[in-house]
Amino acid sequence: MPRTAVRSHAAVIALALVAVTGCASPAPVAEAPEPSAPSVAPSSSPAATPTAADRATTRELRELEAEFEARVGVSAVDTETGATVEFRADERFRFASTLKAFAAAELLRTAAPDERETTVTWTQSDVDRAGYSPVTSEHISTGLSFMELAEAAVRDSDNAAMNLILERLGGPSALGEGLAALGDTTTRVVDDEPDLNDVDAGSTDNTTTPAAFAENLLALSDPENLAGDDYDTLIDWMSGNATGDALVRAGAPAGWTVADKSGGAGPMRNDVAIVFPPDRAPIVITVLTERTDPTAEYDDALVARAAEIVLSQFE
């Protein structure tokens, strides 16, 4: 996989970051106003008139929302050209376990090499409180290193591993400070697992926007934010995400590879991804979704089809 491709297009990424950060104030979680037409023009164009492709993308995503009775938020950036596609990109959504990719990145960014290999131990009660913990539940007697915990959090979405990483960072607020260092002043990290999945209507706690998470993915590709080897490690972990096959990966064109981190609980299903078309620079995409019925269960197909609609603009 051409993991270094993002880095080789630093100038284009800089333009893309300018476009993504030019956001309006985010709407409350409970609101779902009519979105404007998404931009698929180069990000250096300040306010391009919607094209037929723009209008078609808007129509398809609105139809998808109606079909699934859901709200969909998308932010995608082509690092080859700087083109973007955005739909409800500045509205707030719960981030769920997609946050684990950024927690792992913050560990890689801040932990010294010897600390990364320090063995960490925990108890059965830690696993029970965290919920879904397929890796840490099997290593209570032996423990794991911080690097193994970070890998488990990203590849297997292990909740107890996430909580142990957050504890090492200094808690949820410390991760929020790490994201702010990347330029993200939108995301609000308040709780650990599983409480970060619960958000009161109208609250910004434990929420982000598609634009903010896409910007974070772009920022992590900058070696000033994450060293080259560490970025490659993160991409490797995301490429092996065991819970993402039915999401952006399923919506990507044949022959495109995907490094992603999924998240979901109840009515929400999300995916953040770096998509690698053959022989060209990658596409960064965030897809955040939530069914309008709070008692409904999420549907992977909603994310996959939203990704298919958006990624088709970059073929």
Q: Using an 8 Å Cβ cutoff, are 97 and 264 in contact?
A: yes
**Active site includes 97?**
yes
Which residues are CB-neighbours of 98 under 8 A, at least 6 positions away?
Answer: 213, 261, 262, 263, 270, 271, 272, 286, 288
Which member of 65, 148, 151, 193 is catalytic? 193
Q: How far is Cα 153 from Cα 250, in angstroms, rounded to an integer?
A: 21
Kindly report the number of other CB atoms within 10 A of residue 197's CB atom. 19
Could you tell me which of 268, 298, 270 has the C-alpha nearest to residue 286?
A: 270
Q: How many helices (H) and strands (E) does the chain have?
A: 12, 9
Residue 253: cis peptide before it, omega within 30 degrees of 0: no
| DSSP per-residue codes, 286-298 | EEEEEESSTTSPP
**Active site includes 193?**
yes
For residue 163, CA distances in Å to 63, 133, 170 come to 38, 10, 11
Which residues are CB-neighbours of 279 under 8 A, at least 6 positions away?
Answer: none
Which member of 39, 75, 97, 221 is catalytic? 97
For residue 179, CA distances in Å to 51, 71, 105, 216 come to 34, 25, 10, 7
Could you tell me which of 31, 137, 141 has the C-alpha nearest to residue 92?
A: 31
Q: How far is Cα of residue 226 from the mean position of the Cα atoms in its chain?
A: 16
Q: Using an 8 Å Cβ cutoff, are 72 and 64 in contact?
A: yes
Name the residue type at position 119.
T
The catalytic residues are 97, 193
